[in-house]
Amino acid sequence: LFCLLVITLLVISTTYDVYIHSLSSLSSSDAENPEKKAVTKFPSINRSNGYEIETEELEIEKLLPVVIEDIVDTKKTLGTCGQILLCFSLYSNGAQLFNCESQADSLKCLDGIRVLSMTWIIFVHIWFHNLMPGAADNSFVALDLMSYNFLNDLITVRGFIAVDTFFTLSGLLLTRSFLKRQEKVEGSYLWILKLYFLRYLRLTPVYAVVLIIFQTILFPYYSNSPLWPRRVNEHCYKYWWKHLLYINNIKPVFTGDCLGHTWYLASDMQLHVISPIILIFLHRFKFIAAVIAGCLVLSNWLITGFISTYYRFGLSFRE
């Protein structure tokens, strides 16, 4: 029933999207050519021989009425419900998904870094989940063999640090957009509140649907196997609100078993909250910003060293 409801919503949204795009195309084409000429053929007598009749095309300028008022102004009539409905359109979302054009001021070199990092992360996750206890009986033996070679150890075992490249790219792009935006609104930082709100609004609706509907309500019915009940975790039922507040990566209860990979969203959101505060100092007081950045880097090293020493973590995954 739920799948039928989703398919129906997709069909209705896509049909509605195609309809309003056709109206928009008609409106733009008529607006570009508001005056049209009617071409009529009239017979004319060739006076050289007096009797031979030829036809020639005579253009008679005649204004053909174009009633643009009859065309629906889609932008004004969509409203909030219409815009929400279009979020499920395969027509617009597919066009945006497969659009390979980039903006003129974009850093195209970052696209290659994204592709390599994403490929690396996907490979490591597939490798790791196939070696999880329960999926393979000799998982620790395979893990030891994979990490014995330096290249394998670098690509697989140490591949978990590949996600740090996305943190770096996110910080770079945030700093770049912040400084460019601040040049246009010199002296005012109120737009940062709008930045927080738009980012939360952009991520949370889809995140909430996946968390509440798919992961909490429908997850127990995805499969049926001897190991499947172990995958159903109570954390999603108890601590779903931590995900919506983007604090699911913070103790005392680490909800890693409930959409464990979303720890990145929480960390990225927290960094987006803190970063503009540092960037304000970078824009106004560069020396203070450098001191703050240096202190943060140093604290990161010290905290990592303390945790590794306290819990006796080794230098490699095997230790």
Distance CA 70, CA 72 (A): 6
187: region left, alpha or beta (phi > 0 left; psi from -120 to 50 alpha): left
Angle at the Cα of 121 from the Cα atoms of 118 and 126, rounded to 5 degrees: 125
One domain, residues 11 and 85 = yes
298 falls within a domain: no
Residue 235's pLDDT band (cuts 50, 70, 90): confident
Q: What is the value of pTM for the model shown?
A: 0.69
Where does the pLDDT of residue 99 fall: very low under 50, low under 70, confident under 90, or very high at 90 and above? confident
Q: Are residues 153 and 114 in the same domain?
A: yes
Task: Identify whether residues 81 and 117 lie together within a single domain.
Answer: no
Residues 4 and 82 in one domain: yes
Q: Tell which of 89, 121, 143 closes a domain.
A: 89
Half-sphere exposure of 236 (CA within 13 A, CB side): 21
- Name residue, tokens 């980012």: 199
Beta strands 53-60; 38-45: pairing state: antiparallel
- 85 and 143 fall within a common domain: no
Amino acid at 49: N
Of all residues in the chain, what percent carry a pLDDT higher than 90? 12
Number of domains in the chain: 2
Q: Is residue 121 part of a domain?
A: yes
Domain that residue 15 falls in? 1-21+68-89
Give the tens place of pLDDT for each residue, 255-306. Answer: 556 788 888 999 999 999 988 888 888 888 888 888 988 998 999 899 988 9
Is residue 266 situated within a structural domain?
no
8-60 pLDDT tens trace: 988 998 898 888 877 776 665 555 555 444 444 444 444 444 444 344 444 43
User: Average model confidence (pLDDT) for the chain?
Assistant: 75
